Amino acid sequence: MKRALLIRHSSSETLAKNYLSVLEDQGFDIDSLNLFESAPKYNRFSAPNLHDIDMIIVLGGPLSVNDDYPALHKEQEYITDALSINKPIFGVCLGAQLLAKVLGATVEPTGGYQFGLRKIFITSKGASDSVFSKITIPLVPMLHGDCFSHPPESELLSEGIILLRNGCYKRINTAFRYRKSYGFQFEPQLTLEELLIWNRNLFNDYKLMGNDFDPEIESARNTREFAVFAIHHENQMRELLLAFLENANLINIE
């Protein structure tokens, strides 16, 4: 039996059925390490030995990689050690930012906030990548306010555009690959069921988009648009996860 470590930073963020079913069908046991509530403020990062796991999935959350919490420092050390032995990491949102930071990138606020479906611009590297090329419709759900610079020695797979609170637009990096590891500044694991939970638990995040946006209108729009797109999103992101596992030599798809 293969073993995956799932690191969570918010009780609202899960793998949901789409990704859980892929991992279970491919013979993975999943261990969860929860760093939400008070855990990051204290020295509570207690992860398994890296030699006892096959891959790491790092999800998002409301924390910043620049927060001075002992558990976050330990998490970054753990990710660094994992990279040193080429352990595959699947980093999502905050997970991607943590991965980018330990690789030498900077992570900083964008000056705006995104909560909803956004178009990404796939680079030539992304289009030819065996994993990222599974994204055939470049529309993805996002929930973030920070962005990362291009990590040294990594391949930039996609970029995006964010509307800032001052009315200007900014180009940001949205995905990269480093060896067997990937960072996604969007939510490949998201399902419609999970989005409905986010709309309830994270409703105040819509207010971070700025005064020109009405949270009730944005929440309704996000639900309506994602309800139509969800089946396409889940299908292509399921293929992406399978390709990630195959690229990491964790499964063999014939």
Which pLDDT value is given to residue 36?
82
Which pLDDT value is given to residue 254?
67
Q: Where are the domains of the chain?
A: 2-247
**Residue ranges of the chain with pLDDT lower than 70?**
37-38, 254
Which pLDDT value is given to residue 44?
78
Q: What share of the chain is helix, strand, coil (3-state, %, to 5)?
A: 40, 30, 35
Q: Output the CA–CA distances (angstroms, integers) from residue 154 to 78, 216, 243, in the order listed.
A: 19, 39, 18
Residue 129: is it exposed, middle or buried by C-beta count within 10 angstroms (0-12/13-18/19+)?
buried
Alpha helices in the chain (DSSP H): 16-25, 70-84, 94-102, 124-128, 192-201, 215-247
Which pLDDT value is given to residue 232?
98
Which pLDDT value is given to residue 126?
98
Which pLDDT value is given to residue 41?
76
Which pLDDT value is given to residue 200?
95
Alpha-carbon dihedral angle through residues 4, 66, 108, 78, given to the nearest 10 degrees: -30
Cα angle, residue 145 at apex, residues 141 and 149 outer, rounded to 5°: 95
Check whether domain 2-247 has CATH 1.20.140.10, yes or no:
no
DSSP one-letter code for 37:
T
